[in-house]
A = this chain, B = another copy of it.
Amino acid sequence: MTEASSDSNDSFHVFDTTLRDGAQREGINLTVADKLNIARYLDEFGVGFIEGGWPGANPRDTEFFARAAAELDLQHAQLVAFGATRRAGGSAADDPQLAALVNSGAPVITLVAKSHDRHVELALRTTLDENLAMVRDSVSYLRSQGRRVFIDCEHFFDGYKANRDYALAVVRAAHEAGADVVVLCDTNGGMLPAGVHEIVADVLATTGARLGIHAQDDTGCAVANSLAAVDAGATHVQCTANGYGERVGNANLFPVVGALEIKYGMKVLPEGRLAEMTRISHAIAEVVNLAPSTHQPYVGVSAFAHKAGLHASAIKVDPDLYQHIDPERVGNTMRMLVSDMAGRASVELKGKELGYDLSADRDLVGRVVAKVKEQENLGYTYEAADASFELLLRDEVRGGRERFFTLESWRTISEQQAGNGNGGGESAGNEATVKLWAKGERRIATGEGNGPVDALDRALRAALEGIYPQLAKMELVDYKVRILEGQHGTGSKTRVLIESTDGTTTWSTVGVADNVIAASWRALEDAYTYGLIRAGLDPQE
């Protein structure tokens, strides 16, 4: 593990706990490989500290630290091991949990300590004095082993409100024993910014310790609470990528860093990394296998998407009129949404975004707006399917639907035979047959796959590949299904979004129908049509 590079500044800490606290989010289940991948992205983004997990307590985390030592080549961040103060009534030097933290090899260790008297009594079941000794002994011991130590004062704000003297005593005990940073944690997430500011200011004035903030988002104020703490003198913020965490989640790394860099003018990231924020947010969501939140500040796909017709008209004059920053600063882009709320200005701007100058043809723009509204009433959405919108636009420009092939019929068959109960006989199969016309020829092809849509895709490609060799480098890379009007279970409309690539660019298409296979057919048809247009072919029909 590399030490932090010499140009890193220790005066302000961006401390990421995605791998430890973030992993406590409902729906996340990280392998060790996932954790190593996320660590690389976090390091690339430029956080100062990466809290990797609880070695010793979680076997997967023990493995993470072992593999990190061999495989992670951190350029900027320092790895942190998380754990707890020694066992009540025991000794730090003999504590196996503390030993595991040391053995992890992490240069920095964060210990969680109780700082709320009630938790000491009910959860730890020990005395207030013993808890202070646990803090002092554990910090001193780890310092004696050459580790840098941070202390997470769990439930600090609630503890301060219940028993200010005791909460401050915990801070002092940690500080005096050698903890570099004492992190005040709003563990239950109930604080609001004004209260955070007041308490952090008091703790700083009273103890003189270097303070950090760890905010949870239960009141919807985690980002603001983190900033309030910084305003009051904290110089260490704990966050998670995309705000992942227990219950509602943690303070989201991206709007916190966005505020510090852009609004406060602080340099908390290495030069140039802010512009990587959108890419890294999405990359981490990909590893975690959660759909990226479309409406996240700064990095969400909707963050700079403009819908209201009046906004579009103003943006034609100057994008700054409706954006608080230039989206490029965080690696995002402005998008014009075409919807029934869109007016001509939106369609013109969207057309321009796609490379078509529609400003001279008012009738055309009107027809496109009408067609979009009609399709949206059927369940289509073009907001995440630019290629389907472009095909709609081209159809109106050229006065007719462009086709490279005409469907005659498709059919899919899926089946499963249950096993005989003795481990034999189980089988499953998915097959599709497509019949179509292309370049004057009738083609019939059958494909097999993991499922009916996979089989249909293969059958379609098989039917076309001899005629359109350009298809060979096209590939489906993402596939989303959304059931519309879910109140009636399997009888609803289904919308499918497909993302395809030719190896250089990607494009998205949409299909809506009564069921997932028919909807997928429509999205596939658009995907291949668009792909062939991109490959430079002219449709012939």
Contacts and interface: CB of A to CB of B under 8 A. Distances in A.
Nearest to A323: B188
B248 A339 contact: no
A303 B228 CA distance: 23
Interface string A302-313: 111111100101
A416 to B, nearest CB: 6
Contacts of A453: 490, 515-516
Contact of A521 (B189, B295, B298, B416): B416
A279 interface: no
A116 B327 CA distance: 22
B407 A418 contact: yes
A213 to B, nearest CB: 14
A327 to B, nearest CB: 10
Interface centre among A249, A408, A412 (most CB of B within 10 A): A412
B218 A414 contact: no
Interface stretch (A10-18, A21-29, A63-71, A144-152): A21-29
A43 to B, nearest CB: 22
Nearest to A118: B321
Contacts of A339: 26, 29
B418 A520 contact: no
A281 interface: no
A94 interface: no
Interface stretch (A126-134, A255-263, A265-273): A255-263
A480 interface: yes
Nearest to A450: B514
Interface in A82-109: none
A409 B192 CA distance: 58
A531 to B, nearest CB: 13
A391 to B, nearest CB: 18
A411 B412 contact: no
Nearest to A429: B411
Contacts of A278: none
Interface stretch (A203-211, A352-360, A481-489): A481-489
A518 B428 contact: yes
A311 B407 CA distance: 57
A341 B318 CA distance: 50
Contacts of A520: 490
A498 B485 CA distance: 14
Contacts of A409: 415-418
Contact of A255 (B220, B325, B414, B476): B220
Interface string A231-259: 10000000000010011110010010011
A409 B376 CA distance: 39
Interface in A188-240: 188-190, 192-194, 217-221, 223-225, 227-228, 231
Given A247-B305, A415-B411, A381 B27 contact: yes
A312 B232 CA distance: 33
A413 B416 contact: no
Contact of A306 (B246, B317, B449): B246
The 9 closest A-B pairs by CB, nearest first: A451-B515, A190-B324, A476-B489, A224-B224, A220-B255, A411-B415, A454-B490, A220-B297, A188-B324
11 contacts: A27-B302, A118-B321, A187-B322, A188-B324, A246-B311, A247-B306, A450-B491, A452-B452, A479-B489, A481-B516, A490-B520
Interface of A: 23-27, 29, 118-119, 122-123, 187-190, 192-194, 217-221, 223-225, 227-228, 231, 243, 246-249, 252, 255, 258-259, 263, 286, 289, 294-298, 300, 302-308, 311, 313-314, 317-318, 321-325, 337, 339-341, 376, 381, 383, 406-418, 428, 430, 449-454, 457, 475-492, 494, 498-499, 514-518, 520-521
Given A194-B228, A476-B489, 17 more contacts: A25-B302, A123-B314, A188-B324, A190-B263, A190-B324, A192-B259, A219-B223, A219-B297, A219-B324, A221-B259, A243-B295, A286-B487, A412-B412, A452-B517, A454-B491, A477-B489, A478-B486
